[in-house]
C-alpha cells in the first residue's frame, strides 16, 4: 500500500474516521418528485460508497427558496427528513459516517423554482451572470436557463434565514446524520454575503469585510448550537484567478481572496468547528491553490482541513505528508468507483466516468458502476 497516509485513521471530534478519504458533496438530482425527498435509490448510492472515512451528502436545500436546480433534495419537510433517514441508516449499516451539507443557492435560482414564482432572494439585487440553473419543463425533463434577477433580503429576513439553517441542522440530526456541513462556497448564498461583488448592503451585513462575514458567523454559531461545534464543517471555494472560466465553475473571485478567506477561517476557528473544506478549481489545467494560502490556513485554523479538486491518490498523499491537509476528497472518481478506497489501497484501475449520466435519471450512471472483481 503506497498511499499509506490516506489509510491512517483520523479523529474528527468524537468520531474515528477509518481513513482520510472523503466522498464530497456531489449534486446528482435523483430525489423523489414531487417533494424533493431522498429515497431508496439514493440510499443505495451512498451505502455503496460507505468505504470512505467520511461521506458528505449532496447539497440539500434548507428551505423551498434555497433550490436552484430541479430534483435536488431538501431537508425542511417531514417527508424529506424521512427520506434522508433511509440514507443515513444504509450508511451506518456499513459502518460509515455521514454529514449533511446544508445548502441555500440565494440568487442562483429561477422564479420557476421559487414558491409562487417569486424572485430568488440574495444579499443584494444583483443578478448572477455566466451561470445557469436547471428547471423542470415536464416530468423527468428539464432545461438550463439563466438565473432570474433576485430581490434583496431585508435585515429581518436575513436573521430569519440564520434560524432556518439552525432548523435544518435539527432536521439533519432527526434524519440520523452524524453532523452537518454549511455550504459557503461556489457562489451560493453564504458566499454571496462574503463577497463584495454580490453584497452591496448598507446594514450590519454589508460594507466592511467583518460585516460581510457576519452572516457566516451567525449561521455557524446557530448551527453549532444545535449540533455541537465538532460536528460542524464549512466549505469554502477561494479562487485566486479572475478568468471567466473560473467564475463559471466556482462563482466569485475576490479582490484579495487570501485576506478574505483567512479572515473567514478565523471565524471558524473562534467557533471551534470540526473542519473546513476547501473546494479548489477542478477543471483541466486549473491553477494550483497558492502554497502561502495553504500554510496560512493551517496556521489560522486548528481543526481538520479537507481539500477537493481533481486530486489523485498520489497528489493527496503529498499534501497529507506535508501536513497541509488532513483529508482528501475525491469527486468524479467516487461517482464512477463506488469501491474507490479499495481501488486506491490495492492499486486497481478505475472505472471511467460517464458524464452523460451525472445529473438526473435513474440507476444508470448512479448505482450501476461495478466494483472491482478482486
Structure confidence at residue 250 as a pLDDT band (50, 70, 90): low
Radius of gyration over alpha carbons of the chain, in Å? 19
Q: What is the mean pLDDT of the segment spanning 317-321?
A: 97
Position 2 scores a pLDDT of 59
Percent of the chain with pLDDT strictly greater than 90: 91
Cis preceding-peptide flag for 34 (omega within 30 of 0): yes
What rounded mean pLDDT belongs to the chain? Answer: 95
Q: What is the mean pLDDT of the segment spanning 295-314?
A: 97
Out of 165, 188, 205, 249, the active site residue is: 188
Active site residue 369: no
Q: What is the mean pLDDT of the segment spanning 161-190?
A: 98
Tell me whether residue 148 is exposed, middle or buried, using C-beta atoms within 10 angstroms of its C-beta: 0 to 12, 13 to 18, 19 or more. buried
Domain spans, the chain:
4-357
Helix (H, G, I), strand (E, B) or coil at 10: strand
Position 105 scores a pLDDT of 97
Structure confidence at residue 288 as a pLDDT band (50, 70, 90): confident
Domain 4-357, CATH number (from 3.30.70.270, 3.30.360.10, 3.40.1190.20, 3.20.20.70): 3.20.20.70
Distance of CA 44 to the CA centre of its chain: 20
Nearest in space to 113 (alpha carbons), one of 141, 139, 89, 137: 137
Interval 44-81: pLDDT, tens: 999 999 999 999 999 999 999 999 999 999 999 999 99
Position 246 scores a pLDDT of 45
Reported pTM = 0.97
Position 29 scores a pLDDT of 98
Structure confidence at residue 287 as a pLDDT band (50, 70, 90): confident
Structure confidence at residue 242 as a pLDDT band (50, 70, 90): low
Interval 79-110: pLDDT, tens: 999 999 999 999 999 999 999 999 999 999 99
Amino acid at each position: 500500500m503506497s498511499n499509506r497516509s490516506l489509510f491512517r485513521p483520523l479523529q474528527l471530534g468524537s468520531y474515528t474516521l477509518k481513513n482520510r478519504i472523503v466522498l464530497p458533496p456531489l449534486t446528482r438530482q435523483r430525489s423523489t418528485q414531487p417533494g424533493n425527498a431522498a429515497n431508496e435509490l439514493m440510499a443505495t448510492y451512498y451505502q455503496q460508497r460507505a468505504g470512505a472515512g467520511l461521506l458528505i451528502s449532496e447539497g440539500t436545500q434548507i428551505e423551498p427558496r434555497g433550490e436552484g436546480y430541479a430534483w435536488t433534495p431538501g431537508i425542511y419537510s417531514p417527508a424529506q427528513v424521512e427520506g434522508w433517514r433511509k440514507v443515513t441508516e444504509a450508511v451506518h449499516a456499513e459502518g460509515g459516517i455521514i454529514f449533511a451539507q446544508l445548502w441555500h443557492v440565494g440568487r442562483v435560482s429561477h422564479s420557476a423554482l421559487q414558491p409562487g414564482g417569486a424572485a430568488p432572494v440574495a444579499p443584494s439585487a444583483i443578478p448572477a451572470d455566466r451561470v445557469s440553473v436547471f428547471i423542470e419543463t415536464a416530468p423527468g425533463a428539464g432545461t438550463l436557463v439563466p438565473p432570474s434577477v433576485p430581490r434583496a433580503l431585508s435585515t429581518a429576513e436575513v436573521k430569519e434565514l440564520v434560524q432556518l439553517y439552525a432548523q435544518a441542522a435539527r432536521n439533519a440530526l432527526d434524519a440520523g446524520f452524524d453532523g452537518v456541513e454549511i455550504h459557503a462556497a461556489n457562489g451560493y448564498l453564504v458566499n454571496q454575503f462574503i463577497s463584495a461583488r454580490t453584497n452591496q448592503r448598507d446594514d450590519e451585513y454589508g460594507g466592511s469585510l467583518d460585516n460581510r462575514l457576519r452572516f457566516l458567523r451567525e449561521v455557524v454559531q446557530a448551527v453549532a448550537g444545535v449540533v455541537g461545534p465538532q460536528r460542524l464543517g464549512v466549505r469554502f471555494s477561494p479562487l485566486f484567478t479572475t478568468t471567466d472560466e473560473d467564475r463559471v465553475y466556482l462563482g466569485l473571485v475576490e479582490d484579495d481572496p487570501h485576506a478574505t478567506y483567512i479572515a473567514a477561517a478565523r471565524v471558524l476557528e473562534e467557533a471551534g468547528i470540526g473542519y473546513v473544506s476547501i473546494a479548489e478549481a477542478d477543471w483541466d489545467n486549473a491553477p494550483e491553490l497558492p502554497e502561502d494560502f495553504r500554510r496560512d490556513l493551517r496556521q489560522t485554523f486548528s481543526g481538520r482541513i479537507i481539500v477537493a479538486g481533481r486530486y489523485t491518490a498520489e497528489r493527496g498523499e503529498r499534501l497529507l505528508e506535508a501536513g497541509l491537509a488532513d483529508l482528501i476528497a475525491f469527486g468524479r472518481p467516487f461517482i464512477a468507483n463506488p469501491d474507490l478506497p479499495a481501488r486506491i489501497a490495492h492499486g486497481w484501475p478505475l472505472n471511467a466516468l460517464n458524464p452523460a449520466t451525472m445529473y438526473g435519471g435513474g440507476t444508470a450512471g448512479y448505482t450501476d458502476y461495478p466494483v472491482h472483481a478482486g
